[in-house]
A and B are shown apart, each in its own frame.
Chain A
Amino acid sequence: MAIPRVRTTALPGVGTQYGLTTREHRQLSVIAHRDGSRTLNVYHSDDPDSCSQSFRLTRDESAALVDALLPDHHSPALLHNNDLGLVAERLPVTGTSRWNGRLLGETRMRTETGASIVAVLRRTGAVPSPAPDFRLAGGDTLIVIGTREGVDAAAAILGRE
């Protein structure tokens, strides 16, 4: 199986264009704009010079699309997925969450789900291995490691209003 070649074309003043010809001889291209947004183009089969569809995607939309295109698809929250059946995910604590302002111990996360909270990310910095008396706040992101089921249960607990 030949590795597909991606052609790069500079579009001065706009950005860079990456073009791909698929195995079925269809043309695809992505334009990387300088502001981080992307344009995804699909070409006519009978006029390969012109786009039949052109989608403007924001930074986040393109990231979500790339995730869906990856051979081992996963959700954008996922940090790592190893073969031992453990996953690491980022889980947000929203401002409306019931845990906003409560202690980490009150979530009884490890007891109920078996998942560990290995760090809390805040604007002010990361707190590694938070103790049970750590006070959560809206806007925190928890790095949780556990089995797939455990992490899903942890997400459900954190999502409580």
Chain B
Amino acid sequence: MHTASVFVELGSIILVLGLLGRLAARYGFSPIPLYLLGGLAFGHGGLLPLSASGEFVATGAEIGVVLLLLMLGLEYTAADLVTNLKAQYPAGAVDFLFNAVPGAAAALLLGWGPVAAVVLAGVTWISSSGVIAKVLGDLGRLGNRETPVILSILVLEDLAMAVYLPILTALLAGAGLLAGSITLAIALATAGGVLFVALRYGRLISRFVSHKDPEKLLLVVLGLTLLVAGIAQQLQVSAAVGAFLVGIALSGEAAEGAHTLLSPLRDLFAAVFFVFFGLSTNPASIPPVLLPALALAVVTALTKVATGYWAARRAGIAVHGRWRAGGALVARGEFSIVIAGLAVTAGIEPGLGPLATAYVLILVVTGPLAARYTQPAVERLGELGASLRRVPRRKPAAGPPAVPTAGAGAGAGGLLEPDLGPVLEPALALDFEASASRDDPVGGPYRS
């Protein structure tokens, strides 16, 4: 009978997730907040407490984190990471200063102690590369000159995770300074070693893994990833980082194939992870931390805008593009939850999980809006400031008349890929009228 009740519970969770995902797709926002809310509804103090499937969901959540990081690693090649690190490290440093520090300060202000400060620093620091890449595509801004700047900041953050997560794991395990330093040294050596091997022998590794038959490729990649993740966890380096490094080491055909094959698995287990996070949070604990979460969200949204502005200015991009880059970076998402999840599992501070939940809920929803409206809003403000009269002139903001690629090649809106088309369409239509005054890019002289 135990199996039956596990099936019933799992089935109902996954079915509800699917329905929530469809709802999110219809209104064009990321399903992540809905999964979190779904978890809150099922969990302790929620509507339908689960009992039988708890263990499976917990393991599934761990696998979800590993797969999330593996897929992230597959997105990048080792060469990507190294070139970005060389070219953009000041932007990465500013990003860290502007966005990790407020999180740490907030934790200290709340009196949660240094370990929670390190956790919250990570939560506010890492932007959601999944949400942001999707938003840029939907807004038709992938070709913009500020986009490489945005993407390289995301790459640096992801690379920084490979250093940050081991430190966090050591801290959460309550390791002392010496043990922590040893762990960090191991982690850095491993990451450096993997990067070096991937740069030198990436093709050999990929050839070993690569296989024409999808089934074999899936089994080899998944097995290798879980094995490395497990060993990394044994070494106190953090399973997620092990998976990330496997993703980095794979390139070319093997990475392409693995990406296609593992996407559905990632979607399933990552959804389970978000639910699990919601499950381990008591809904009643959220209202008390709502105000701090809101304040933190406002502050760190502004600091992200400043980060993007600074990085784009450094890359020699004009003012419009600087604001666009700033707005695009606001969204936080899956990795803030991954970081908070580690802390919740370790059970350091009861308020941390609810705060992170509320924080991510706010920013994953407002992030895409910030990406869309930061630049027009700033210009509107500038006009208001410039006009000496009390009444602002109703001049259309010269926002980017991005044409949404709704539906067109938008893929099957996966877990980390909300389809923003329907929501943005009206706004974009307005913008398009504003751009009608521009000279028509299509009507150039036609020479045969």
> In the complex, which residues of chain A have a beta carbon less than 8 angstroms from the beta carbon of B321?
47, 49-50
| Cβ 8 A contact of A54, one of B76, B84, B143, B444 | B143
> In the complex, which residues of chain B have a beta carbon less than 8 angstroms from the beta carbon of A52?
400-401, 435, 438, 441
Chain B residue at smallest Cβ distance from A38:
B409
Query: Binding site of B, secondary structure by majority: helix, strand, loop or mixed?
Result: loop
User: Which of B14-22, B95-103, B117-125, B151-159 is found at the contact surface with chain A?
Assistant: B151-159
> For the complex, is B402 an interface residue (Cβ under 8 Å from A)?
yes
Interface residues of A in 121-153 (CB under 8 A from B): none
| Cβ 8 A contact of A13, one of B129, B317, B405, B439 | B129
Range for the number of chain A residues in contact with chain B: 20 to 34
Say whether A11 contacts B401, CB under 8 Å: no
Say whether B80 contacts A12, CB under 8 Å: yes
Say whether B143 contacts A31, CB under 8 Å: yes
Counting chain B CB atoms within 10 Å of each CB, which of A31, A46, A47, A57 scores highest?
A: A47
> For the complex, is A81 an interface residue (Cβ under 8 Å from B)?
no
Say whether B405 contacts A56, CB under 8 Å: yes
> In the complex, which residues of chain A have a beta carbon less than 8 angstroms from the beta carbon of B151?
11-14
Given contacts A12-B151, A13-B154, A50-B400, contact A41 B142 (CB under 8 A): yes
Say whether B148 contacts A10, CB under 8 Å: yes
> For the complex, is B145 an interface residue (Cβ under 8 Å from A)?
yes
| In the complex, the 10 A-B pairs of residues with the closest C-beta atoms, listed nearest first | A41-B143, A54-B140, A56-B409, A49-B321, A13-B75, A49-B145, A12-B80, A56-B405, A50-B400, A56-B408
| Cβ 8 A contact of A39, one of B83, B142, B324, B442 | B142
> In the complex, which residues of chain A have a beta carbon less than 8 angstroms from the beta carbon of B154?
12-13
Given contacts A45-B438, A51-B402, contact A11 B147 (CB under 8 A): yes
Say whether B80 contacts A43, CB under 8 Å: no
Given contacts A12-B151, A14-B133, A24-B444, contact A51 B144 (CB under 8 A): yes
Interface residues of A in 1-58 (CB under 8 A from B): 9-14, 17, 24, 26, 29, 31, 34, 37, 39, 41-58
> In the complex, which residues of chain B have a beta carbon less than 8 angstroms from the beta carbon of A37?
409
Say whether A9 contacts B148, CB under 8 Å: yes
14 contacting pairs across A/B (C-beta < 8 A): A10-B80, A12-B151, A13-B80, A17-B143, A29-B143, A37-B409, A43-B143, A43-B441, A48-B145, A49-B145, A49-B321, A51-B400, A52-B401, A56-B410
> In the complex, which residues of chain B have a beta carbon less than 8 angstroms from the beta carbon of A54?
140-143, 402-403, 405
Residue-wise interface mask of B (256-270) relative to A, using a CB-CB cutoff of 8 A (1 in contact, 0 not): 100100000000000
A25 CA / B321 CA spacing, docked (Å):
19
Chain B residues at the A interface, C-beta cutoff of 8 Å: 75-76, 80, 83-84, 129, 133, 137, 140-148, 151-152, 154-155, 256, 259, 317-318, 320-321, 324, 398, 400-403, 405, 408-410, 435, 438-439, 441-442, 444
Say whether A55 contacts B405, CB under 8 Å: yes
| Cβ 8 A contact of B409, one of A17, A26, A34, A57 | A57
Chain B residue at smallest Cβ distance from A22:
B444
Say whether A39 contacts B438, CB under 8 Å: no
A29 CA / B438 CA spacing, docked (Å):
19
A24 CA / B443 CA spacing, docked (Å):
13
> In the complex, which residues of chain B have a beta carbon less than 8 angstroms from the beta carbon of A43?
143, 441
> In the complex, which residues of chain B have a beta carbon less than 8 angstroms from the beta carbon of A10?
80, 83, 148
A24 CA / B446 CA spacing, docked (Å):
12
> In the complex, which residues of chain B have a beta carbon less than 8 angstroms from the beta carbon of A44?
400, 438, 441
> In the complex, which residues of chain B have a beta carbon less than 8 angstroms from the beta carbon of A57?
409
> In the complex, which residues of chain B have a beta carbon less than 8 angstroms from the beta carbon of A9?
148
Chain B residue at smallest Cβ distance from A15:
B142
Q: A9-B148, A10-B148, A53-B441 are in contact. List 19 more A-B contacts (CB 8 A).
A: A11-B148, A12-B75, A12-B76, A12-B154, A13-B76, A14-B133, A14-B142, A31-B143, A39-B137, A44-B438, A45-B439, A50-B321, A51-B142, A52-B400, A53-B403, A54-B142, A54-B143, A54-B405, A55-B405
B68 shortest CB reach to chain A, Å: 14
A42 shortest CB reach to chain B, Å: 5
A29 CA / B76 CA spacing, docked (Å):
22
> In the complex, which residues of chain A have a beta carbon less than 8 angstroms from the beta carbon of B80?
10, 12-13
> In the complex, which residues of chain B have a beta carbon less than 8 angstroms from the beta carbon of A26?
441, 444
B239 shortest CB reach to chain A, Å: 22
> In the complex, which residues of chain B have a beta carbon less than 8 angstroms from the beta carbon of A39?
137, 142-143, 405
